[in-house]
């Protein structure tokens, strides 16, 4: 079972007498303490994934920019920074949170997409490296900040990823500047005296084979030879996670050797060892996180049994947005005779389905389900849709301590920014 892989990586999760415990505590007790649903993260796993990736590459000027859109909770960012990673950000809000987590300006890379001048200005004020995503954004940037350094995001013509909505290279994507526009990049740069100091790409999210990633990296390196004073190349994120039991995970060590080969070869051909970045999000945090949710109803329709829990797509969006699969563990009966169940949430939409026709040990009201691999694009995509409260986040530290790293929303959070007749509400 997939849960055993997590148990191997962390002392935070155990199974005793067929029951899933977290830091030795029953899950229903945790939900009593912190409210249901509840995100739980295991520090061990985050550190392990940072180290595994760092150790896979030996090129001396390599850095990993954690893509904080995957999870931007500050306590987790601090752990990731302690492991020596930098960050990739995509908004002033992420710059703000990264700075609060302790990242220095030179450790932050703003990979922008369709931003207004104010967002560029915010990044410039904070002296943060910026990448622009289109010729018109390069014009906008150049007009306002002539004489600056800037990076450009290239679409290398190759995409990959777990769903068409997250493939960000190739023909059907809004991202990056097309290879056929290299001359225009140079013209705009010349017009505004911009120094193109970096190239970046990101071809998509959650690939489990690295062939396309490396092929696109090679394309980017070939393009880079058209620019004579680059300081860095960023080949993006997307490193996949094995959500389904039995799937082969991404071969990180194999990927690392391929990256070393690409980076060293480029250094020879370019005549200089420039910096290389990657920007993984999911790989760093996904497997560290569990979402605990309480079962509130069991409905036996003629053709389908629904297990209704208190966690809808406002809490975990991925199944609804991408049809994503997350392994589910019955916390009170980890192993047991299985029945076919559809696990659904408490949001007022038929699409609010966490798992369809899943074989699970018999589930009853008041049981707790643990949804695995929920650390990435879980809380960071959560919302207050249906005026529901977003859950708390709990960290189980490597020392086995429990720390609440985000409080559960309160009802007053729903109205805290609202006004009626220019007056605060409530």
Ligand X SMILES: Cc1ncc(COP(=O)(O)O)c(C=O)c1O
Binding site for ligand X (CB under 6 A): 67, 69-70, 88, 111, 202, 205-206, 236-239, 279-283, 376
Closer residue to ligand X, CB minimum distance, 236 or 345: 236
For ligand X, the nearest residue by Cβ is 281
In degrees to the nearest 10, what's the CA dihedral of 345, 346, 349, 351?
Answer: 0
Q: How far is the CB of 60 from ligand X (least distance, A)?
A: 23
Q: How far is the CB of 321 from ligand X (least distance, A)?
A: 12
Q: Is 348 a catalytic residue?
A: yes
Backbone angles phi, psi at 51, to 5 degrees: -70, -40
Q: How far is the CB of 330 from ligand X (least distance, A)?
A: 28
Q: How far is the CB of 65 from ligand X (least distance, A)?
A: 8
* Contact present, 369 and 341 (Cβ < 8 Å): no
Closer residue to ligand X, CB minimum distance, 353 or 376: 376
b vs e for 84-111, b when ≥16 Cβ sit within 10 Å of the residue's Cβ?
Answer: ebbbbbbbbebbebbbebebeeebbbbb
Closer residue to ligand X, CB minimum distance, 237 or 312: 237
* Contact present, 358 and 341 (Cβ < 8 Å): yes
Closer residue to ligand X, CB minimum distance, 161 or 391: 161
Backbone angles phi, psi at 421, to 5 degrees: 50, 45
Enumerate the β-bridge partners of residue 344: 308, 353
And the tokens for 95? 């710059």
Closer residue to ligand X, CB minimum distance, 217 or 345: 217
Q: How far is the CB of 376 from ligand X (least distance, A)?
A: 6
Q: How far is the CB of 238 from ligand X (least distance, A)?
A: 4
Closer residue to ligand X, CB minimum distance, 98 or 239: 239
Closer residue to ligand X, CB minimum distance, 27 or 112: 112
**Strand segments (E) across 331-398:** 338-344, 353-361, 368-371, 392-396
Distance from C-alpha of 296 to C-alpha of 346, rounded to nearest angstrom: 9
Distance from C-alpha of 244 to C-alpha of 325, rounded to nearest angstrom: 7
Strands 62-67 and 275-278, bridge-based pairing: parallel
From residue 149, alpha-carbon distances to 36, 106, 248 in Å are 48, 13, 41
**Strand segments (E) across 94-155:** 108-111, 129-132, 149-155
Q: Give me the DSSP letters along 250-308.
A: P-HHHHHHHHHHHHHHHHHHHTS--EEEE--SHHHHGGGEEEEEEEEEEEE-SS-EEEE
Kindly name the residue from 97, 221, 296, 348 that is annotated as catalytic.
Answer: 348
Q: How far is the CB of 148 from ligand X (least distance, A)?
A: 21
Q: What residue has token string 């993984």? A: 280
Closer residue to ligand X, CB minimum distance, 266 or 283: 283
Q: How far is the CB of 230 from ligand X (least distance, A)?
A: 18
Closer residue to ligand X, CB minimum distance, 320 or 360: 320
* Contact present, 360 and 295 (Cβ < 8 Å): no
Q: How far is the CB of 291 from ligand X (least distance, A)?
A: 17
Listed in sequence order, the residues at least 6 apart from 74 whose beta carbon sits closer than 8 Å to its beta carbon are 97, 100, 101, 405
254-260: long-range contacts (C-beta < 8 A, 24 or more apart)?
Answer: 254/210, 255/56, 255/210, 255/213, 255/214, 256/53, 256/55, 256/56, 256/57, 256/58, 257/56, 258/210, 258/214, 259/56, 259/57, 259/59, 259/62, 259/214, 259/217, 259/235, 260/57, 260/58, 260/59
Active site residues: 348
């Amino acid at each position: 079972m997939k849960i055993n892989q997590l148990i191997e990586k962390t002392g935070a999760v155990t199974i005793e007498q067929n029951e899933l415990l977290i830091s030795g505590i029953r899950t229903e007790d945790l939900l009593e303490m912190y409210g249901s649903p509840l995100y739980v993260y295991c520090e061990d796993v985050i550190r392990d994934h940072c180290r595994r990736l760092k150790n896979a590459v030996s090129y001396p000027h390599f850095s990993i920019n954690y893509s904080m859109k995957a999870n931007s909770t500050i306590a987790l960012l601090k752990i990731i920074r302690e492991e020596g990673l930098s960050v990739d950000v995509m908004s002033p809000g992420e710059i703000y949170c990264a700075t609060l987590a302790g990242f220095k300006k030179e450790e932050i890379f703003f990979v922008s997409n369709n931003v207004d001048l104010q967002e560029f200005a915010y990044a410039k004020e904070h002296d943060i490296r910026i990448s622009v995503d289109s010729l018109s954004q390069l014009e906008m940037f150049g007009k306002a900040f002539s004489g600056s350094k800037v990076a450009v995001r290239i679409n290398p013509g190759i995409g990959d990823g777990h769903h068409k909505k997250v493939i960000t290279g190739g023909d059907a994507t809004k991202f990056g500047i097309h290879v056929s526009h290299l001359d225009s990049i140079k013209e705009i740069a010349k017009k505004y005296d911009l120094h193109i100091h970096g190239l970046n790409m990101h071809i998509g999210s959650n690939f489990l084979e690295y062939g396309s990633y490396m092929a696109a990296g090679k394309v980017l390196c070939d393009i880079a030879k058209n620019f004579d004073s680059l300081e860095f190349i960023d080949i993006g994120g997307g490193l996949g996670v094995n959500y389904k039991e039995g799937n082969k995970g991404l071969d990180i060590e194999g990927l690392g050797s391929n990256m070393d080969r690409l980076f060293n070869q480029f250094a020879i051909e370019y005549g200089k060892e420039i910096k290389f970045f990657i920007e993984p999000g999911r790989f760093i945090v996904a497997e560290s996180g569990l979402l605990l949710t309480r079962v509130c109803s069991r409905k036996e329709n003629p053709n389908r049994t629904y297990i209704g829990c208190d966690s809808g797509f406002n809490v975990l969006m991925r199944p609804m947005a991408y049809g994503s699969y997350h392994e589910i563990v019955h916390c009170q009966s980890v192993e047991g005779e299985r029945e076919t169940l559809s696990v659904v949430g408490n949001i007022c939409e038929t699409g609010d389905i966490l798992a369809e026709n899943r074989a699970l040990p018999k589930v009853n009201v008041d049981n707790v389900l643990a949804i695995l691999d929920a650390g990435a694009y879980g809380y960071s995509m959560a919302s207050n849709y249906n005026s529901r409260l977003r859950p708390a986040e709990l960290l189980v530290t490597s020392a086995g301590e429990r720390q609440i790293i985000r409080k559960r929303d309160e009802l007053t959070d729903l109205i805290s920014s609202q006004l009626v007749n220019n007056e605060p509400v409530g």
